[in-house]
Amino acid sequence: MTIKEIKHCSFCGIEQSASIPLIAGAEGYICGACVALAHQVVSNWSRKKELSKMQGTLPIPVKIKEHLDQYVIGQQLAKEILAVAVYNHYKRLKHESGDAGLGQFDKDVEIGKSNLLLIGPSGTGKTLLASTLAKIVGVPFVVADATTLTQAGYVGDDVENILVRLLDVAEGNMANAEWGIVYLDEIDKIARSPEQPTGTRDVSGEGVQQALLRLVEGSQVKLPNKGRHSKEGSDLIMDTRNILFIAGGSFPGLEKHVEKRLVPSNTAIGFHASVNQTNEKPSLEAMLNATQPSDLRKFGLIPEFIGRFPVLAPLEPLDIDALIRVLTEPKNALLKQYQQLFAYEGVALEFTQEALAAIAQKAIERETGARGLRSIMEQILRKTMFDIPSASDVEQCLIDADAVQGTGDVRLIKKAAADGLRQQAG
């Protein structure tokens, strides 16, 4: 009588039993646990290969900040915070891509993510920082406008549509999309309205904040398959655990809440009132730098939402010098753009330093920040841009402070006059 051979898993050596079935191969057997581990290893190999194709070398924070410096003036603190966040995001991807060997998965420390919240006045460069970041990163990047979002079931975009757009940017590759970065713009517009009557559904404010909680923290999210050709019964599920969320907003009036906390009001009157020796009010920059989660809660963000954005990055208001640099220094500076437009007509456009200072002063008066510079430039150059294509003898266009203020005209120097000036100089 022959003894029945007991089958073993060729990988871990476990014996076959009623509770542990084995899969037979040509020359061996494998158990279910080893199949699962092998699948994890192979999927991490493919992710690692995709990651190396997608991003190349790991960009260090200094290099990321140097790239941001080429497009965004000032905001050193915000750029440093963003550079560190993106660098750490890449490091997490390296970790997730399977640098750990077989059997090391339980020993690795799971690295969490730190979502960011950019706070600063309108026109200080929040959206520009995000769009410039999109050029640097090798991962899918999408900018979403929070003002278009509503609670599920109401007219407007559902929060899950942000992930659908991220998947589209990743060209349908779910693994790449799950490593992406999402920028939520105008996040202050979904703050809870203090005038909202009790018992009324705030479908575009607090309701959106609650809907975003699950996405931002990290969970398995079912994507709406509107217009997608997918097999019946196969729903698209995206894991948001590794998606970095950056939110930005101007938060108008936030400084009032900060000021109340920093400068306690003295309500005493008469003989008991203390004489306030200093009437100095903290600057807007100082108040934004001193922002605490409690101030955001008073503004209208719910505590759960604030808690999911642990890193606050304040952006400082731009002064005249910074606005002049915005006009002249970046790669896509407005002055360079208009000079190129005039160069197409064969005309050299020049601004005096006083004219640039006057344009910056106008932007500060309008309280529009760098965003208002283009409208001011258009207003100054509109008539000139209308006339120049019709004139073939103009060689140079000079803008001085009087032209900016409206008390003088734009100086158009014709070719013959320019030749005469050159001969006099010679």
Q: Tell me the per-residue pLDDT of 226-248, one tens digit each, with 9 for 90 and over.
A: 555 544 445 788 888 888 899 98
Same fold, 57-101+110-192+202-223+236-265+282-317 and 320-425: no
397 annotated as belonging to a binding site for a ligand? no
**Angle at 48 (CA atoms; ends 45, 50), nearest 5 degrees:** 110
124 annotated as belonging to a binding site for a ligand? yes
Residue 86 has, within 13 A of its CA and on its CB side, a CA count of: 32
Q: Mean pLDDT over all residues of the chain?
A: 78
9 annotated as belonging to a binding site for a ligand? yes
| Mode of pairing for the β-strands spanning 220-222 and 237-239 | antiparallel
Bridge partners (DSSP) listed for residue 225: none
What is residue 193's predicted lDDT score, i.e. its pLDDT?
A: 62
Residue 193 has, within 13 A of its CA and on its CB side, a CA count of: 14
What is residue 227's predicted lDDT score, i.e. its pLDDT?
A: 54
147 annotated as belonging to a binding site for a ligand? no
303 annotated as belonging to a binding site for a ligand? no
* CATH for the 57-101+110-192+202-223+236-265+282-317 domain, from 1.10.287.610, 3.40.50.300, 2.170.150.70, 3.30.420.40: 3.40.50.300
CATH code assigned to 320-425: 1.10.8.60
What is residue 232's predicted lDDT score, i.e. its pLDDT?
A: 45
**Which residues, 6+ apart, have CB-to-CB distance to 83 below 8 Å?**
61, 62, 64, 65, 68
128 annotated as belonging to a binding site for a ligand? yes
7 annotated as belonging to a binding site for a ligand? no
194 annotated as belonging to a binding site for a ligand? no
In the chain, which stretches have pLDDT less than 70?
1-4, 43-58, 95-110, 151-157, 193-205, 225-234, 264-281, 416-426
Residue 179 has, within 13 A of its CA and on its CB side, a CA count of: 27
122 annotated as belonging to a binding site for a ligand? yes
**Which residues, 6+ apart, have CB-to-CB distance to 194 below 8 Å?**
300
98 annotated as belonging to a binding site for a ligand? no
Q: pLDDT for 261-302, tens place per residue? A: 777 665 555 555 455 544 566 777 777 777 888 888 888 888
Residue ranges covered by each domain of the chain: 7-54, 57-101+110-192+202-223+236-265+282-317, 320-425
- Is the dihedral angle over the CA atoms 280, 283, 288, 290 positive or is it negative? negative
What is residue 100's predicted lDDT score, i.e. its pLDDT?
A: 39
